[in-house]
């Protein structure tokens, strides 16, 4: 047997395994979502199973993680505001660490902004960028006393980027109006996290009819595509272009906290987990397995190489020790992400017969 044949045989065996895995997943999950009184065709069962998995294995647990961290963020801010001068530095460190953990959970949950994230416009509510310092300062002066008053504060002064500004750029002091405001902001994030957790749980509980399944798949695939584009365009390439023109506000997201690359890696890791089947975890959810279920093994077989390219480029970003090197390596990362996006928009969209469409973050 020649080396090429060996590879071919290995790939076929691997794809057979993947197909069996995907079929098993479809059968295991479909029973819970079948429309009463009518047995949907096999393809619909697979689709319904996939949608249920998106919620059961992704959105619900990821929303739970975010909802676990967000209250701790509020508590850490409360601790900071209550601290005395002796404990202030330690309290600040704890608040910053908890902000980082909360943003990590948010980056993972929001990598694909479907379902409640889309319906509630959560990214615009709690992750509005760029931060507007003047808006934050105005909001601090207005000293909002409750959640009703916080409704009158615009998103650029609230959310995770605003807290980053209050914790790193203009660090708040204990017992100060700024600290009290930061605590309010954290409270808003906590409330949103709980609302998201509840909304995803309720959606899973209620299930989907055939039409809703079709829409949910369309939404998920489109927003997976949008998640890739956000990473290379909004987060990497666009700030780079702005910086090249000398724009005053040009900087990468999360740069004040020094967590830019860390959060890009989180975002990518989430997309990656949704893209590629984990052979070691038979219950895992992935677009690759879904492609196999839908009888598109060739497309499924092409995904690992594309994902591996992004893996390599993202790992290189992590190793970049200075901004100049980071800027150079961003080119490799965007190229590999664009190749993956092209695969999604052309090959995968064609195979799965879904329409790549407009969503709310595409304007100019």
Partner 1 sequence: MARELTPVVSHYAVIVQATYRDTLTATLALRRAVHAFVAAPSEAKLVTARQAWLAARERYALTEAFRFYAGPIDNGSGPEPRINSWPVDESFIDGIIGRPGAGLVNDRSFTIDKKMLSAANVRDGEENVAPGWHAIEFLLWGQDVSASGPGERSYTDYVASKAPNAARRGRYLQVVTDLLVDDLTDVLRAWAPDKANYRRQFVREGDESLRRIIVGLGMLTRSELAGERLEVPLASQDQEDEQSCFSDNTHRDIVGNARGLQNVWLGRYTRLDGSVVEGLSLHELVAAKDAALAEQLTQRMAQSIVLAEAIVAPFDREIVGDASAPGRVRVRRVVDSLVQQAAGLLDAARALGMQRLNWAPKS
- How many chain residues bind partner 1 (CB under 8 A)? 42
Q: Which of 15, 195, 351, 356 binds partner 1 (CB under 8 A)?
A: 356
Q: Which of 115, 156, 161, 227 binds partner 1 (CB under 8 A)?
A: 156
Within 10 Å of residue 130's Cβ, how many Cβ atoms? 14
Q: How far is the CB of 280 from partner 1 (least distance, A)?
A: 34
Confirm if 296 and 287 have CB atoms less than 8 A apart.
no
Q: How far is the CB of 313 from partner 1 (least distance, A)?
A: 17
Binders of partner 1 in range 171-230 (CB under 8 A) = 222, 225, 229
68 binds partner 1 (CB under 8 A): no
Q: Where are the beta strands (DSSP E) in 21-132?
A: none
Q: Which residues have CB under 8 Å from 34's CB, separation 6+?
A: 40, 45, 48
Q: Which stretch binds partner 1 (CB under 8 A): 96-104, 205-213, 303-311, 354-362?
A: 354-362
**DSSP secondary structure string for all residues of 53-72:** HIIIIIIHHHHHHHHHHHHH
Distance CA 328, CA 308 (A): 20
Q: How far is the CB of 363 from partner 1 (least distance, A)?
A: 4
Q: Which stretch binds partner 1 (CB under 8 A): 10-18, 171-179, 182-190, 343-351?
A: 343-351
Confirm if 51 and 208 have CB atoms less than 8 A apart.
yes
Rank residues 79 and 159 by Cβ distance to partner 1 and give the closer one. Answer: 159
335 binds partner 1 (CB under 8 A): no
The helix (run of H) or strand (run of E) holding residue 148 is helix 147-151
Query: Going residue by residue from 247 to 266, which x/- string records binding to partner 1, judged by CB under 8 A?
Result: xxxx----------------
What burial letters (b/e) apply to 216-255, b meaning 16+ CB within 10 Å? bbbbbbbbbbbbbbbbbbebbbebbebeeeeeeeebbbbe
Q: How far is the CB of 74 from partner 1 (least distance, A)?
A: 21
Rank residues 37 and 358 by Cβ distance to partner 1 and give the closer one. Answer: 358
Neighbour-count burial of 30, counting CB atoms closer than 10 A to its CB (0-12 exposed, 13-18 middle, 19+ buried): buried
Rank residues 43 and 97 by Cβ distance to partner 1 and give the closer one. Answer: 43
Quickly tell me which residue has 């750029």 as its tokens: 169
Binders of partner 1 in range 107-136 (CB under 8 A) = 121, 124-125, 128, 132, 135
Intra-chain end-to-end CA distance of the chain, in Å:
55
Rank residues 143 and 249 by Cβ distance to partner 1 and give the closer one. Answer: 249
Q: How far is the CB of 352 from partner 1 (least distance, A)?
A: 10
Within 10 Å of residue 335's Cβ, how many Cβ atoms? 13
Contacts with partner 1, residue ranges (CB under 8 A): 121, 124-125, 128, 132, 135, 148, 151-156, 222, 225, 229, 233, 237-238, 241-242, 245-250, 341, 345, 349-350, 353, 355-364
């Amino acid at each position: 047997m020649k080396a090429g044949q060996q590879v071919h045989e290995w790939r076929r065996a691997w794809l057979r395994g993947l197909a069996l895995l995907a079929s098993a997943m479809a059968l295991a999950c479909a029973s819970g979502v079948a429309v009463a009184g009518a047995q949907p065709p096999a393809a619909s069962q697979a689709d319904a199973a996939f949608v249920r998995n998106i919620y059961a294995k992704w959105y619900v647990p990821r929303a739970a993680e975010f909802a676990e961290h967000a209250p701790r963020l509020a508590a850490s801010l409360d601790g900071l505001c209550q601290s005395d001068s002796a404990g202030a530095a330690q309290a600040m460190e704890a608040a910053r660490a908890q902000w980082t953990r909360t943003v990590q959970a948010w980056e993972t949950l929001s990598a694909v902004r479907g379902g409640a994230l889309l319906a509630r416009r959560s990214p615009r509510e709690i992750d509005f960028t760029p931060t507007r310092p003047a808006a934050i300062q105005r909001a601090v002066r207005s000293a909002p006393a409750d959640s009703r008053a916080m409704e009158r504060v615009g998103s650029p002064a609230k959310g995770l980027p605003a807290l980053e500004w209050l914790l790193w750029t203009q660090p708040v002091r204990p017992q100060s109006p700024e600290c009290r405001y930061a605590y309010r902001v954290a409270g808003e994030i906590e409330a949103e996290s709980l609302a998201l957790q509840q909304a995803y749980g309720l959606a899973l509980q209620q299930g989907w009819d055939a039409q809703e399944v079709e829409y949910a798949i369309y939404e998920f695939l489109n927003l997976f595509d949008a998640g890739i584009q956000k990473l290379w365009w909004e987060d990497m390439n666009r700030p780079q272009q702005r910086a090249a023109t000398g724009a005053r506000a040009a900087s990468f997201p999360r740069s004040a906290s020094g967590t830019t690359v860390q959060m890009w890696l989180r975002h990518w890791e989430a997309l990656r987990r949704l893209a590629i089947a984990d052979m070691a975890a038979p219950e895992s959810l992935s677009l690759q397995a879904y492609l196999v279920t839908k009888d598109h093994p060739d497309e499924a077989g092409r995904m690992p190489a594309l994902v591996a390219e992004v893996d390599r480029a993202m790992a290189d970003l992590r190793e970049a020790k200075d901004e100049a090197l980071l800027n150079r390596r961003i080119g490799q990362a965007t190229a590999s992400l664009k190749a993956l996006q092209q695969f999604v928009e052309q090959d995968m969209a064609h195979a799965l017969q879904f329409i790549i469409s407009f969503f709310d973050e595409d304007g100019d």
